[in-house]
């Protein structure tokens, strides 16, 4: 049994979700061999997932999104090529604001800590640096990160011989109606006037990024990820890869799937977006090619049975249905997930789901 969930929003990390599912499944089917392989799409939990499978976890004190210092964890894998895994949310995540986002934090939050993590990774000898993008509190276009690296020219020189990867499932450009400020700014505390100001700041910064890169990186898919950190990484010579695919590759997920009889995955909300570049879709595609059934346990399930069948998913089960409300499912996510996993396991007969 391969248990490979994403995080459940702010309720459970991917690691916690995998452990909860394993407890429930093993309670009903103790003879089954269970393998935990928590997943991530590049957002919060990216480092935790990788730390559970490979490399050495390191901690660095860096500038948080509002200047107060924070302890940021990252992973260094010494196997060639030496690779550093960084999660932007460790340095500038929404959870580091000390409270709900506001107009002030939307304007002041920055990404300097991410630059400090990249500098540490380079100093440690990393020839490949993978930056997970998601859950950021800033909309500075990565300016803080670049400044922490000494400016655009110095940063490009420092990373000239580094394989730099921006890991994100977000495909938004930096600017415009589908850009970082207008799509994600309101989630970070920005009111309409603040969104306009953030857009104006990003537009001026985009000129510098595009000039440094020698092309319009601000228009690239993923440039708007993590408040525009994607654009800055692209301007420094990086490339974008889907976060779920990065985790799958770097943790050997294909081998795990190939060895499984059943794949169990999940996330906070299983909806149409889940089938486009998210963890569930990546797992379903890999399992379907081998005829391996996939079960989804999620906080909420909004997809019809027809869509599940088309995606190669045997069944999807909702914590909310058991709890009676979304809030109850959030408040008691770990125990509910264990209970649902136990029920599903009890009804599993090897070829179909009762």
**Distance between CA 127 and CA 162 in Å, rounded?**
5
**Under 8 Å CB-to-CB from 79, ≥6 apart: which residues?**
54
Predicted pLDDT of residue 10: 81
Read off the pTM. Answer: 0.88
- 353 lies in some domain: no
- Give me the domain span that covers residue 177: 46-241
- Evaluate whether residue 18 is within a structural domain: yes
Q: Of 55, 19, 7, 5, nearest to 251 (Cα)?
A: 55
**For the ranges 41-45, 74-78, 336-340, which has the lowest average pLDDT?**
41-45
CB 279 within 8 A of CB 41: yes
The pLDDT score that the predictor gives to residue 285 is 86
Mean pLDDT of 148-157: 98
The verdict on 214 and 90 lying in the same domain is yes
- Under the banding of pLDDT at 50, 70 and 90, the label for residue 334 is very high
Task: Among 241, 264, 294, give the residue marking a domain's end.
Answer: 241
Of the candidates 62, 83, 59, 88, the residue with the CA atom closest to the CA atom of residue 73:
59
Over range 21-34, report the average pLDDT: 97
**What are the helix and strand counts (H, E) for the chain?**
16, 11
What percentage of the chain carries pLDDT values higher than 70? 98
What confidence score (pLDDT) does residue 277 get? 65
Residues 73 and 212 in one domain: yes
Where a domain ends, among 241, 263, 284? 241
Number of domains in the chain: 2
Average pLDDT for residues 279-285, to the nearest whole number? 85
Coil, strand or helix at 269:
strand
Both 261 and 174 in a single domain?
no
Strand order in the sheet with 239-241: 56-63, 69-77, 83-87, 128-132, 163-167, 239-241
Q: ∠ at Cα 129 (277, 147), nearest 5°? A: 105
Per-position b or e across 131-152, b if 16+ CB within 10 A of its CB: bbbbbbbbbbbbbbbbbbbeeb
Residues 202 and 73 in one domain: yes
CA–CA distances in Å: residue 98 to residues 44, 70, 95 = 16, 11, 7
- Give the pLDDT band of residue 144 (cuts 50, 70, 90): very high
34 three-state secondary structure: coil
- Confidence label for 353 from pLDDT (cuts 50, 70 and 90): very low
Q: Which residue has the higher pLDDT, 138 or 43?
A: 138
Are both 26 and 67 inside the same structural domain?
no
Last residue of a domain, one of 241, 265, 294: 241
What's the rounded Cα separation, in Å, for the pair 29 and 80? Answer: 40
Q: Give the integer Cα–Cα distance in Å for 25 and 82.
A: 37
* DSSP-based three-state secondary structure for 151: coil
Flag whether 170 is in a domain. yes
């Amino acid at each position: 049994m391969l248990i490979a969930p994403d995080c459940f929003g702010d309720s459970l990390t991917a690691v916690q979700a995998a452990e909860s599912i394993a407890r429930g499944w093993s309670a009903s089917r103790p003879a089954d061999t269970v393998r935990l392989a928590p997943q991530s799409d590049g957002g919060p939990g990216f480092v935790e997932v990788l730390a559970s499978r490979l490399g050495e976890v390191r901690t660095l004190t860096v500038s948080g999104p509002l200047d107060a210092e924070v302890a940021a964890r990252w992973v260094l894998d010494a196997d060639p090529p030496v690779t550093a895994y960084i999660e932007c949310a460790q340095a500038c995540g929404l959870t580091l604001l000390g409270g709900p986002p506001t107009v002030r934090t939307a304007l002041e939050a920055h990404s300097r800590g991410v630059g400090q993590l990249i500098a540490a990774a380079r100093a440690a000898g990393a020839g490949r640096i993978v930056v997970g993008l998601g859950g950021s509190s800033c909309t500075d276009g990565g300016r803080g990160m670049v400044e922490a690296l000494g400016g655009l020219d110095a940063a490009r020189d420092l990373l000239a011989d580094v394989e730099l990867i921006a890991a994100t499932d977000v495909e938004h450009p930096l600017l415009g109606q589908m850009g970082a400020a207008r799509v994600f700014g309101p989630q970070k505390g920005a009111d309409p006037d603040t969104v306009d100001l953030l857009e104006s700041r990003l537009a001026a910064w985009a000129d510098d990024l595009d000039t440094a890169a020698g092309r319009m990186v601000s228009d690239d898919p993923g440039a708007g990820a993590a408040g525009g950190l994607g654009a800055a990484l692209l301007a420094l010579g990086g490339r974008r890869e889907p976060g779920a695919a990065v985790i799958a590759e770097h943790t050997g997920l294909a081998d795990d799937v190939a060895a499984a009889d059943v794949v169990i995955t999940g996330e906070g909300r299983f909806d149409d977006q889940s089938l486009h570049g998210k963890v569930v879709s990546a797992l379903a595609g890999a399992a379907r090619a081998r005829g391996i059934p996939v079960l989804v346990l999620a906080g909420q399930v909004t997809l019809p049975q027809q869509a599940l069948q088309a995606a190669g998913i045997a069944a999807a089960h909702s914590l909310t249905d058991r709890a009676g409300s979304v809030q109850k499912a959030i408040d008691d996510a770990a125990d509910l997930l264990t209970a649902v996993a136990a029920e599903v396991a009890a009804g599993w007969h090897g070829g179909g789901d009762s």
